[in-house]
């Protein structure tokens, strides 16, 4: 049986952790992705005619559920987590669309709201589960 663990950061010659070029850009790219996804959701809900509405909304529909699923799967390797997160996001989007079509309530705004609500619920459940896990460990 293999035990999964977190490796300690490797140290340079001066004893400080090594920083790669990707480490500095990760928070910047994350912030940019959140901004683009947020603008996409706002453009879709407001009905603004913009050439960026389609691509930004599609990015939101993939990024929001993928992020929530990715947070839930933090024990996986990064590549596996990315693949499963994107596949789960596509599946969630298709299930929302199919459900809305089945009940004859399809709308773009409704789909955005439904995907946002489900993604937020998944993220909230993961955070609550982690919070309860920490509390149980502290009591023991």
Task: State pLDDT tens for residues 34-75.
Answer: 999 999 999 999 988 999 999 999 999 999 999 999 999 988
CA proximity to 63, closest of 82, 76, 77, 79: 82
Helix (H, G, I), strand (E, B) or coil at 7: coil
Q: For the chain, which residues make up each domain, given as ranges?
A: 26-139
Is pTM beyond 0.85 here? Answer: no
Query: What is the block-wise mean pLDDT of the chain (140 residues), using blocks of 10 residues?
Result: 60 54 78 92 91 93 94 91 96 96 94 95 92 68
> What's the pLDDT at 8?
57
Contacts of 129-132 with CB under 8 Å at 24 or more apart are none
In this predicted structure, what is the pLDDT of residue 10?
56
pLDDT of residue 73: 92
């Amino acid at each position: 049986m293999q035990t999964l663990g977190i490796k300690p950061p490797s140290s340079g010659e001066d004893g400080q952790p090594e920083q790669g070029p990707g480490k500095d850009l990760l928070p910047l790219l994350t912030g940019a992705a959140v901004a683009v996804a947020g603008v996409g959701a706002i453009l879709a809900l407001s009905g603004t005619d913009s050439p960026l509405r389609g691509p930004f909304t599609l990015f939101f529909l993939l990024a929001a559920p993928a992020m929530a699923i990715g947070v839930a799967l933090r024990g996986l390797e990064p590549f596996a987590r990315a693949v499963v997160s994107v596949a789960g996001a596509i599946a969630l989007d298709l299930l929302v669309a199919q459900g809305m079509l089945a009940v004859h309530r399809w709308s773009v705004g409704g789909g955005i709201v439904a995907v946002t609500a489900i993604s937020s619920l998944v993220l909230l459940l993961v955070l609550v589960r982690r919070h309860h896990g920490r509390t149980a460990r502290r009591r023991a």
